[in-house]
Amino acid sequence: MQYIQSPVSTFCNGQACSMGSLLLAAGEPGKRYALPNASIMMHQPSGGASGQASDIAIHAREILKVRERLNRIYQKHCNVKDLDVI
């Protein structure tokens, strides 16, 4: 959506959950819509890890990196600075 020339409108008429909320936020500013009774749900990334403690620590660091990346994307598209979105 970010690499095409045409402005992209996004519309939520029911639920925009998880990555759907990111797609909704990535629409062109001023062209993002949600009906009054629509719901938008964001959550922190999650994942299951098993194995040695070092493997679990690596997995946890990767999940934290994904959370930071998602925060930056939401901040960019929602024009919010220095705030943890998720």
pLDDT in tens, 48-61: 888 999 999 999 99
Using the Cα atoms of residue 77, residue 78, residue 84 and residue 86 in order, give the sign of their dihedral.
Answer: negative
Q: Cα(39)–Cα(41) distance, rounded to whole angstroms?
A: 7
Question: To the nearest whole percent, how much of the chain has pLDDT over 90?
Answer: 80
- Which residues participate in catalysis according to the annotation? 43
Q: Judge whether residue 40 has pLDDT over 90.
A: yes
The residues spanned by each domain of the chain are 1-43, 46-81
80: pLDDT confidence band, cut at 50, 70 and 90? confident
Q: Judge whether residue 68 has pLDDT over 80.
A: yes
Q: Judge whether residue 82 has pLDDT over 80.
A: no
